[in-house]
Structure 1
Amino acid sequence: MKKIGIILLLIIVLPIGFLIFNEIGKLNETEKVLEETYNNQLQTILFSVNQYSDDILNSWANKANELNEDDQLLKNFIRENLAIESIFFLYEGKDESAKFIFDEKFISSSDSIKSVVKSILVSNKNLISRLADYQKAGYRKLEPLPVNNVSDLAVVVFSNQNDNKVYTITGFVINPQEFVRKILLPRLQQISQENFIILVRDYQNRFIVSSTNTNYSGQVEFEKQMWLIPHYKIGIVLTRGTIQDLIRNRATNNMILIAILLLVLIAAVMFAYRAVKKELELAQLKADFVSNVSHELRTPLALISMFAETLELDRVKNDEKKKEYYSIISQEANRLGRIVNSILNFAKMEAGKRKFNFESINLNNVVENIYQTYSYHLQNKGFKFEKQLTENLPEVKADAEAISEAIINLIDNAVKYSADLKEVTLKTISTGNSVIVEVIDKGIGISPEDQKKVFDKFYRVSSGLIHNVKGTGIGLSLVKQIVDAHNGTIELVSEPGKGSTFRIILPIDINN
């Protein structure tokens, strides 16, 4: 069994253990890949939002070119796009020549807007001059200008070429909060759905808007500056926690699954080991059974053959001696018959083919018949054989012959395992809802460990008188099968050196 255990360990546990160890080793690498994947996905989302903002401004730039500096049309365009506060034109890159177009609603603040924008233009002359170079190269670039922490204003400029082939700088003065709320918010809601919260904050981390329309003040997973409103930041948050939380949860789940897999494998190995061990033990018990049966059959056959041959050769002249030999032959033949009958009955029980003739019987009558049959035989062997029958014993539904066989097997077992104190007692008891038959001996007893196995097929106690006692190992198993077939139970109370009590408990026949 040790070799089998080692083989099972090598075949099953070690490869799986190696696999688990390898998976644990790769876990950190997998989590890094997962984190990188999440990062890329979130970065892509933020990129798409910025790209959408860029597309909106480009569409405005195209519209402004189409209107060809028509003041009224430009005012109407500003009125239609609430996020635009003013459109201005800067001729030949000179900020002092800037022309501003305002809708009536912004007239009151036009002077302050002009002042701020001109200051921004002066501070970014070099940046503005490069836009004309881009335009000459055939590329129009939208360029946000730094607003020096003026959070309620954004300036975006680009270069144009008019019909006279004069390069001008066109610019939008944008209200960033209106742009985010009116232009970006629907897009944020469309992208995020239920998986993310996309939000916008200003340079002081003050909340502007989020895709869920709720004020969010927690940790932001990823955050980038908006391309066209640099002093605003657009961020993204996972609705189910941070990426670190997801990775931590996934790692925990993986470890739990690995632990469960390991436990299942250990349980499977233990189950396989026990199954193999049980099969080997059963095979050994069967081998012992064959050996014991062979020995049991050989002994009476040898005696019968020997004494029959002696009588046949007429070597015994004394009639009394002949009678003794005839008695031995008869006893051994009966013994041989009992062995064969026990084996046949056991085989029938195992195959489920044994038929029982159930009828209402009084167990006192069964015990009395057994006592009368075996009292002389046991007394000749030096046993004190007694009976204690309870009067007015209720009847039970049972097969009298099968119950007799079970009791006889218990008596035979008591006789075999009695040492110096040879006493066997048959006892009947009524408990109200059942009837009990007890077979009590003063023999060598049975240890607690063996008590759990004595009713198993082919099992024989491996201590005490076992080496000197004949038997097949099926007697007690047959008793249990008979009792189970009667819906009863069998109990054993024993202590090594103090004897044993086998108790057959049968339910009362309530129809009588």
Structure 2
Amino acid sequence: MKRYGSLRWILLAAGVVAILGLTGMNVYSLYALHENTLESSRENKKLQIAEFTDKIRYRFFEKFMGLGSVDIDRLQDNYRKTGQFTSEVNNLLKKAAKDSIYKDIFFIPSGSDACQQHTPIHKYTSNQKFELTSNYPEVVCDGMGIARTQIKSLLADYQYNNKVIFDSHRSITIVLIDPSDREVLGYLTMPFNQDFLRNSYLPKILEQKFGPDEHPGLNVWLRDWTNNKIIASSSPNAKYESEQIQFVENFPDFFDYWTVEVAFTDESTLAASNASLIQNLIVLGAAMLLLLGALVFMFISAQKERALAERQSEFLANVTHELKTPLSVMQAAGENLADGRVQDQQRLKSYGNHIFSEAVRLRKMIDKLLDVAKSNAEESLIEPQPTDVGDVVQSYLERHQKFFREKGFHLDLTINDNLPKVNIDRNSLETILSNLIDNAIKYSADEKYLGIKVTAQNNQVKLCIEDHGIGIDKKSLSDIFTKFFRVEDSLTAKTKGHGLGLSIVKNLVELNSGSIDVESKPGEGSTFIITFPILSESEQKGSPNSVSMQPESKSRNKELEEHVS
């Protein structure tokens, strides 16, 4: 049996570990899924930022998309003869001149030292042709200088007829090249319209692409990191703080000193992912608690069933022995009487008394078993009627005076005057008294004291039965009303019993709408406290079963105490 008990504990521990392990794995998986969802969302935003920078880049190239297919030799011949480009290139320049992003269009032929000598250069005018002008900004020469420096290192292996080079956010220069001769024809330079670029184009396209309506929870800033200035923002009211930036995207090939910086706030994806995570954790936690609760409940139930089976087994063995003992005594006495071996009248009387007492003992055991059987079957055992508890107690004690004297018990009886009546079954109350007094007598070793008090308070009649016996330890108090339970120690082991008396008492008390409690200390004794609700005056007067009874006095209590003692 112990081996199976250990196995149950091992299986319980294994089940708990398995549930906790699976729960831990699921929690880890949920958090991993949560992080992956957020990371996927952020990667998607990064791709959108990259697409955004490419879109801006395309904005500066789109006007010259056909330049790569131009016949560069014909272009060179036409320029040398007329000082103008071919109609094909002129159409491209016409489109560029109409674009607000370019302030002007200038052309500096290869080998010209106009920038060094501050001499006139070609400017594309509203007449749709190049004319010499001395009024050109310094940024034109800066752009041409940067382009000239870069193309020197590329020209030997370069195979295209043009190369686009940016002077950061200030200008764009298109180097026209003759790849067959590895020669530069000239530099087509276009300064940017800074007012339009900074105040109109970039803020507008940034807000359209990443504004709060399109991407709630996402703030994007276009920042000049060299001067620590914000050029544009997707949310004009959003305050820039470097600590909240999640990632930075550089512009490819141009705007060297500008970056797109992104900060995530409580975006819808994050909120939805967090809500889903919390919901899943709650469901998982509830499932885990349910599984653990079910596992522990089944384990405790199995333990209780095992303990009950053991008590029932012990009860069956005890009852079998208890039933056999009086039967054996009566059988032996009956055989002696039947054989005529006993002739003396005194011995005959003794044999008769012995048979009678064993028969009474046998009847009490059978009555207890019948009460338990009826209780299990939930059969009604009571016929309640207005009853004076004090009268029932006094009547019971008077009938058992001789029994108390034989046991040598001192009775301390107190019954209040004018006790209100309660609606209970009289026979049930006598059974309750019998069991509790019988226990008090059985478990009182040295000090043979029995205190009985009947009082009325708080619309209740209270019956207290006190002894100065061996008492009950604290851990057993919650189980004493359980069927077949007996407190196991060296004293109770020597006392006959089946663990049914208190179970019967509790059942009868509850059937009569009462309650029972116990106070006990090992070595000092026990006090059982039973309370019944009193009947109202109208219920007592209106009941056909009500009986007029005279209140008991304390003098009668004293008289009974002296008589019993």
TM-score, normalising length from structure 1? Answer: 0.79
* Counterpart secondary structure, 2:137: helix
Asked if 1:493 corresponds to 2:519, the answer is: yes
Structure 1 residue 86 corresponds to structure 2 residue 89: no
Of 37, 54, 59, which aligns to 1:56?
59
Q: CA 1:95 to 1:187, structure 2 compared with 1: closer, same or farther past 3 Å?
A: farther
Is the aligned partner of 1:226 residue 2:259?
no
Q: What's the CA shift for 1:300?
A: 2.0
- Measured in 1, the distance between the counterparts of 2:475 and 2:33 equals 52
- Determine whether 1:383 maps to 2:383: no
Q: Taking structure 1 as reference, are residues 508 and 134 closer, same or farther at Cα in structure 2, changes over 3 Å only?
A: farther
Partner of 1:8: 12
Instruction: Give the equivalent residue in structure 1 for 2:438.
Output: 412
Counterpart code for 1:205: N
**2:148 alignment counterpart:** 125
For the residue of structure 2 that corresponds to 1:57, the secondary structure is helix
- For residue 350 of structure 2, give the secondary structure of its aligned residue in structure 1: helix
Alignment of 1:387-406 (within 5 A): 387-406=413-432
2:224 is the alignment partner of 1:202: yes
Q: What CA distance in whole angstroms lies between the structure 1 residues aligned with 2:63 and 2:317? A: 104
Q: Check whether the contact 2:173–2:187 (CA below 8 A) recurs between aligned residues.
A: no
Q: How does 1:112-261 map to 2 (within 5 A)?
A: 114-125=137-148, 127=150, 133=158, 135-136=160-161, 143-147=164-168, 153-155=170-172, 157=174, 172-174=190-192, 175=194, 176-177=197-198, 178-189=200-211, 193-203=215-225, 204-219=227-242, 220-227=245-252, 228-240=254-266
Task: Please tell me whether residue 451 in structure 1 is matched to residue 455 in structure 2.
Answer: no
Partner AA of 1:173 in structure 2:
P
Alignment of 1:325 with 2:351, yes or no, is yes
- Cα deviations by residue, 1:4-38 (Å, 9 ceiling, x for unpaired): 3233223441x456667888999999999789756
- Answer yes or no: is the 8 Å Cα contact 1:379–1:385 preserved in 2: no
**Is contact 1:188-1:198 (8 Å) kept?**
yes
Distance in 1 (alpha carbons) for counterparts of 2:463 and 2:59: 99
Retained in 2: the 8 A contact 1:158–1:170?
A: yes
Give 1:244's aligned residue. Answer: none
CA distance in 2, matches of 1:299, 1:74: 124
Match of 2:104, SS?
Answer: strand
- 1:262-305 residue CA offsets vs partner (Å, 9 max, x unmatched): 99887776655544433332332222222222222222222222
> Following superposition of structure 1 onto structure 2, how do residues 471-510 of structure 1 map, counting pairs within 5 Å?
471-510=497-536
Q: CA RMSD in A?
A: 4.6
Distance 1:112 1:252 in 2: 67
Q: Is the 8 A contact 1:89 1:168 kept in 2?
A: yes
Unaligned runs of 5+ in 2: 71-86, 115-119, 128-132, 179-183, 268-272, 541-565
SS state at 2:522 partner: coil
2:460 to 391, 412, 434: 434
SS in 2 for 1:497: coil
Could you tell me which residue of structure 2 aligns to residue 107 of structure 1?
A: none
Amino acid of the structure 2 residue aligned with 1:84: Y
User: How many Å apart are 1:435 and its aligned residue?
Assistant: 0.6
Match of residue 46 from structure 1: 49
Seq. identity, %:
25
Question: CA shift at 1:118, angstroms?
Answer: 2.0
**SS state at 2:380 partner:** coil
The amino acid of 1:181's aligned partner reads P
The C-alpha deviation readout for 1:468-496, integer Å capped at 9, x for no partner, is: 21111011122112222333221222233
SS at match of 2:527: strand
Tell me the TM-score normalised to structure 2 length. 0.72
Return the alpha-carbon distance in structure 2 between the equivalents of residues 180 and 325 of structure 1.
122
Paired with 1:370 and 1:352, the residues of 2 have a C-alpha distance of 27
Secondary structure at the counterpart of residue 452 of structure 1: helix
Residues 75 and 103 in structure 1, CA contact (< 8 A), matched pair in contact too: no
- Residue number among 298, 312, 325 corresponding to 2:338 in the alignment: 312
2:400 — aligned with what?
Answer: 374
- Count of aligned pairs: 489
**CA offset at residue 116 of structure 1?**
0.8
CA contact (8 A) 2:368 2:501 kept: yes
SS at match of 2:261: strand
Q: Distance in 2 between matches of 1:352 and 1:470?
A: 27
- Aligned pair in 2 of structure 1 residues 426, 120: CA closer, same or farther (>3 Å)? same
Q: 1:18 to 1:501 in 2, by over 3 A?
A: closer
Q: Is the partner of 1:487 in helix, strand or coil? A: coil
Aligned counterparts of 1:444 and 1:52: Cα–Cα separation in 2: 95
Aligned with 1:303 (options 329, 334, 342): 329
Matches of 1:46 and 1:251 in 2, distance apart?
28
CA distance in 1, matches of 2:287, 2:136: 69
CA deviations 1:340-394 (Å, max 9, x no partner) are 2222222322342234322211112211231123222232333334543222110
CA distance in 2 between counterparts of 1:134 and 1:188 reads 39
Q: Is the 8 A contact 2:224 2:230 kept in 1?
A: yes
Contact 1:180–1:209 under 8 Å retained in 2 = yes
**Cα deviation code 1:194-214 (max 9, x no counterpart):** 132111101323112221222
Letter in 1 for 2:237: T
Q: Secondary structure at the match of 1:197?
A: strand
| Secondary structure of residue in 1 paired with 2:463 | strand
Task: Output the CA distance in 1 between the equivalents of 2:394 and 2:446.
Answer: 26
Residue 223 of structure 2 aligns to which amino acid in structure 1?
R
Asked if the contact 2:389–2:421 (Cα under 8 Å) also holds between the matched residues in 1, the reply is yes
Other structure's SS at 1:327 match: helix
The Cα shift of 1:501 comes to 1.8
Preserved contact between residue 93 and residue 128 of structure 1 (Cα < 8 Å)? no
Q: Distance in 2 between matches of 1:342 and 1:276?
A: 27
What letter matches 2:211 in structure 1?
Q
Asked whether the equivalents of residues 95 and 121 of structure 1 are also in contact (C-alpha less than 8 Å), the reply is no
- The answer to whether the 8 A contact 2:415-2:455 is kept is yes
- TM-aligned CA deviation for residue 339 of structure 1: 1.6
Question: What's the offset of the Cα at 1:237?
Answer: 1.0
Task: Kindly indicate whether the alpha-carbon contact (under 8 Å) linking 1:160 and 1:169 is maintained by their aligned counterparts in 2.
Answer: no
Work out whether residues 140 and 190 of structure 2, in 8 Å CA contact, stay in contact via their aligned partners in 1. Answer: no
- Look up the SS of the partner of 2:529 in the other structure: strand
CA distance in 1, matches of 2:256, 2:359: 112
* Higher radius of gyration, 1 or 2: 2
